Amino acid sequence: MAIFIQSLDYNLWDLIVDGPNLPSIRIENEESIPKPRNTYNDEDRRRVEMNAKAKHIIICAINSSEFNRVSSRVFAKEMWDRFEVTYEGTNQVKEAKIIILVHDYEMFTMNEKEDIKSMFTRFTNIINALQSLEKVYSSSECNIRVFRKMKSY
């Protein structure tokens, strides 16, 4: 979904990741409060509209049970954060997944009676899972590892 949103409008993606910069006004003690809608200027409306567009894109891409999980969220960032925790887990869960996948990567071998296509698919799945958790190996490093494992088999 991230790539889809980025391809539509990278500013929407920034809003989802960083949170909205909604119109507000400062009061006497330097505290900010939401700006009343009847005082919005064109820029204020654009910012509110960007959050609404981001929420719309997310809602159109999810099923009904996911909708029920995030529909009460005011900001697109809150929706996205909920999905991250639901599908990727907390930082501790991510770190545990990375440890397991790095182990799988480092100990990767071709199984008996496994053809090259199946082996390469299995290896690619490990690399893609690591990449989705922001643990990236260079292409050359991956190629060298998989060819060594094929050669040793």
**Which parts of 61-153 fold into alpha helices (H)?**
64-70, 76-87, 91-106, 116-132, 139-152
Domain count, the chain: 2
The mean per-residue pLDDT over the stretch 52-62 comes to 92
Q: What pLDDT does 95 receive?
A: 84
39 with 65, same domain: the answer is: yes
Confidence of residue 151 (pLDDT cuts 50, 70, 90): low
Per residue, what are the HEC states of 7-66?
A: HHCHHHHHHHHHCCCCCEEECCCCCEEECCHHHCCHHHHHHHHHHHHHHHHHHHCCCHHH
Q: Which domain, by its residues, includes 122?
A: 91-152
Give the residue from 34, 64, 87 where a domain finishes. 87
75 with 96, same domain: the answer is: no
pTM confidence score? 0.60
The pLDDT of residue 36 is above 70:
yes
82 with 106, same domain: the answer is: no
54 with 110, same domain: the answer is: no
The mean per-residue pLDDT over the stretch 25-46 comes to 88
19 with 56, same domain: the answer is: yes
Q: What pLDDT does 153 receive?
A: 56
The pLDDT of residue 24 is above 90:
no
pLDDT, one tens digit per residue, over 111-133 is 888 888 998 899 899 988 888 88
Q: What pLDDT does 152 receive?
A: 60
Give the residue from 71, 87, 103 where a domain finishes. 87
Instruction: Please say whether the dihedral angle defined by the alpha carbons of residues 54, 56, 62 and 68, taken in this order, is positive or negative.
Output: positive
